[in-house]
Structure 1
Amino acid sequence: MVQIGYTLMTEQAGPRELVRHAVGAEESGFDFSVTSDHYFPWLRSQGHSPYAWSLLGAVAQATSRLPLMTYVTCPTFRYHPAVVAQKAATLQLLSEGRFRLGLGSGENLNEHVVGRGWPAVDVRHEMFEEAVTIIRALFEGGHVTHHGKHYDVDSARLWDLPDAPPPIGIAVSGEQSCALAGRQADLLIATEPKPELLSAFDRHGGTGKPRVGQLPVCYDTDRDAAVARAHDQFRWFAGGWKVNAELPHPDSFAGATQFVRPDDVAGSIPCGDDVDAFVEAVRPFADAGFTEVALVQIGGDQQEPFLAWSEKKLLPALRDAFA
């Protein structure tokens, strides 16, 4: 059975609204939730970007069943890995064991703000693996001292450590990141339903571990309105991660996607209220072998209608299709 999740997309709603959406997702019957961790929105039209970790602390208190997860946090530039470990351990305690720490190598869009530059991808992967190693060491308890190529840790210790540390998920997009995930991750994270990613993950040690995908959708009873909203706020998605990781500003994404047409967006994102179209959009993830798929409803002011529709129609149809 494929579990169906809900995305708290910080780029398109303020913090109080996002907490309300999380409560609604729990009440509607979603199996889990994921939360983006950004400093900027992708496009100005999205209009938000509150601090994900404050949001998650509030959501942990406002909900009682819904599993939580960062999707994803970059532990290399804005945050030192020792600080990420502390935040994740605290959130695992606050949520009483409902938290998973999703990690990725990040995007220039969010990480440039601390003024440390944006090195080549091989260097970023090297930094990322070192950061994950530090986080895992701190999760094991005791004092950690580390003097590596990219990070120093001086006698750090997590004083409030849960009995079971948060499982670590690693976002993948190619062979190199799949190899890292196979070695270091408890679960795989991906935004594209590519079977070759899962095969590579398995080759490097990921066999039997969960794999979580994500799918943007745009529910609206008016399909034309849904297509227009998806184009306005989510056309950045067409760039692919090799491009998305490099652009430094929402205006860069606007320029890079200026020739993307509404029909191009509607060709890859289900828009409207045809349940069958949404089910078929999830199918490639299920067929590839993903065990979980988190949906992103586009439009911060369109979450309540989507949650109501999901409870009545979409979630039952998805469970029937992928039981």
Structure 2
Amino acid sequence: MVRIGYTMMTEQAGPRDLVDHVVGAERAGFDFSVISDHYFPWLSSQGHSPYAWSVLGAAAEATTRIPLMTYVTCPTTRYHPAVVAQKAATMQLLAQGRFRLGLGSGENLNEHVVGAGWPSARVRLEMLEEAVGIIRRLFTGEHVSHHGPHFDVVDAKLWDLPDEPVPLGIAVSGEASCAIAGRAGDLVIATEPKRELLDAFDRHGGSGKPRIGQLPVCYDTDRDAAVARAHEQFRWALGGWRVNAELPGPASFAQATELVRPEDVADAIPCGDDLDSFVEAVRPYADAGFTEIALVQIGGAHQQPFVDWAEKALLPALREL
């Protein structure tokens, strides 16, 4: 049975609302939750971007059952990997074993703020793999010194560690990232239902490990309102990651998507309240072999109606996939 998750989308809600949303998702019976880790929203119309790690700490205290996960944190530029390791270990203790650390190579949108430049995709993946190695070593509790091509660590040690290392998920979009995920990850993360990504993950050592996908949806009893909201806040998602990783800010995403029409968004994202259309949008992930699928309800002020509908209708239907 596919596990269905809930996304705390930091780009569309403030910190207290995000915690309230995940409490509601736990009550409704979602199997797990994930949170985006951004400095900027994709579009100004989304209007938010609080610090994900503070929200996670509050969510750990406000919930008791639902697993928590970053989707995803970039451990290379805005955060040093030694600091990410400390944050993740602390979160696992607060969440009492319910936390997983999702990692990725990042987007210019969020990482440019520290003024370190934006490397090529090849260099970003090199940095990601080196960062994962540092995090793994720190999770052992040993003193770590490291002098690599991209990072330096001098006599670092984590003093508060969970009994078991935090599971690491690695986001993938092509063969090179799948190779890193297979070698170094405990699970794989993707935002497209491509079986070839999972096959590549398996070839590089990922066979049998969990695989998590994500899908935006826009529930509303008024389908026209849902389409309009999805277009206003989520048309950036149609650009693909080769584009989305490179653009530097919300104004760039607005310009890049100015020709995207509401009907284009409606073709890509299930909108409204037709149960079958939501199930059919999720089905390609299940068919491709994803074991977990996190849903993103578009619109920060429209979470509770979605969660109520999911509890009554959507979650039972999706669990039959």
In 2, Cα distance between the equivalents of 1:319 and 1:120? 40
Superposition RMSD on alpha carbons, in Å? 0.4
In 2, Cα distance between the equivalents of 1:194 and 1:39? 28
In 1, Cα distance between the equivalents of 2:258 and 2:149? 40
How far 1:58 moved relative to its partner?
0.1
In 2, Cα distance between the equivalents of 1:286 and 1:85? 31
Q: Which residue of 2 aligns with 1:51?
A: 51
Amino acid at match of 1:8: M
Q: What pairs up with 1:301-320 in 2 under 5 angstroms? A: 301-320=301-320
Question: 2:149 matched to 1:119?
Answer: no
Name the SS for the 2:161 alignment partner.
coil
Name the SS for the 2:113 alignment partner.
helix
In 2, Cα distance between the equivalents of 1:142 and 1:203? 31
Q: Which residue of 2 aligns with 1:284?
A: 284
Q: Which residue of 1 aligns with 2:271?
A: 271
In 1, Cα distance between the equivalents of 2:210 and 2:87? 23
How far 1:98 moved relative to its partner?
0.1
In 2, Cα distance between the equivalents of 1:183 and 1:69? 20
Amino acid at match of 1:270: P
Amino acid at match of 1:51: Y
In 1, Cα distance between the equivalents of 2:318 and 2:63? 23
How far 1:148 moved relative to its partner?
0.4
Q: TM-score, normalised by structure 2?
A: 1.00
1:167-217 superposed Cα distances (whole Å, 9 cap, x missing partner): 000000000000000000000000000000000000000000000000000
Q: Which residue of 2 aligns with 1:137?
A: 137
In 2, Cα distance between the equivalents of 1:167 and 1:121? 25
In 2, Cα distance between the equivalents of 1:303 and 1:86? 31
How far 1:123 moved relative to its partner?
0.8
- List structure 1 segments (4+ residues) > 3 angstroms apart after TM superposition: none
Question: 2:61 matched to 1:61?
Answer: yes
Name the SS for the 1:5 alignment partner.
strand
Q: Which residue of 2 aligns with 1:230?
A: 230
How far 1:140 moved relative to its partner?
1.2
Amino acid at match of 1:272: G
In 1, Cα distance between the equivalents of 2:315 and 2:54? 29
In 2, Cα distance between the equivalents of 1:238 and 1:307? 25
In 1, Cα distance between the equivalents of 2:227 and 2:217? 10
Q: What pairs up with 1:142-221 in 2 under 5 angstroms? A: 142-221=142-221
Q: Which residue of 2 aligns with 1:12?
A: 12
How far 1:142 moved relative to its partner?
1.1
Q: Which residue of 2 aligns with 1:260?
A: 260
In 2, Cα distance between the equivalents of 1:226 and 1:22? 21
Name the SS for the 1:267 alignment partner.
helix
Name the SS for the 2:112 alignment partner.
helix
In 2, Cα distance between the equivalents of 1:101 and 1:261? 35
Question: 2:252 matched to 1:247?
Answer: no
Q: Which residue of 2 aligns with 1:77?
A: 77
Q: Which residue of 2 aligns with 1:42?
A: 42
Amino acid at match of 2:91: L
In 1, Cα distance between the equivalents of 2:196 and 2:218? 27
In 2, Cα distance between the equivalents of 1:27 and 1:205? 36
Amino acid at match of 2:230: A
Q: Which residue of 2 aligns with 1:295?
A: 295
1:4-49 superposed Cα distances (whole Å, 9 cap, x missing partner): 0000000000000000001000000000000000000000000000
In 1, Cα distance between the equivalents of 2:165 and 2:55? 20
In 2, Cα distance between the equivalents of 1:119 and 1:67? 33
In 1, Cα distance between the equivalents of 2:63 and 2:281? 29
Amino acid at match of 2:36: S
1:211-257 superposed Cα distances (whole Å, 9 cap, x missing partner): 00000000000000000000000000010000000000000000000
Amino acid at match of 1:200: A
Amino acid at match of 1:212: I
How far 1:166 moved relative to its partner?
1.1
Amino acid at match of 2:243: V
Name the SS for the 2:218 alignment partner.
strand
Amino acid at match of 2:45: S
Please, which runs of 5 or more residues in structure 1 have no aligned partner? none
Please, which runs of 5 or more residues in structure 2 have no aligned partner? none
Q: Which residue of 1 aligns with 2:2?
A: 2
Identity %: 78
In 1, Cα distance between the equivalents of 2:250 and 2:141? 40
In 2, Cα distance between the equivalents of 1:62 and 1:205? 36
Name the SS for the 2:242 alignment partner.
helix
Name the SS for the 1:283 alignment partner.
helix
Q: Which residue of 2 aligns with 1:96?
A: 96
Q: TM-score, normalised by structure 1?
A: 0.99
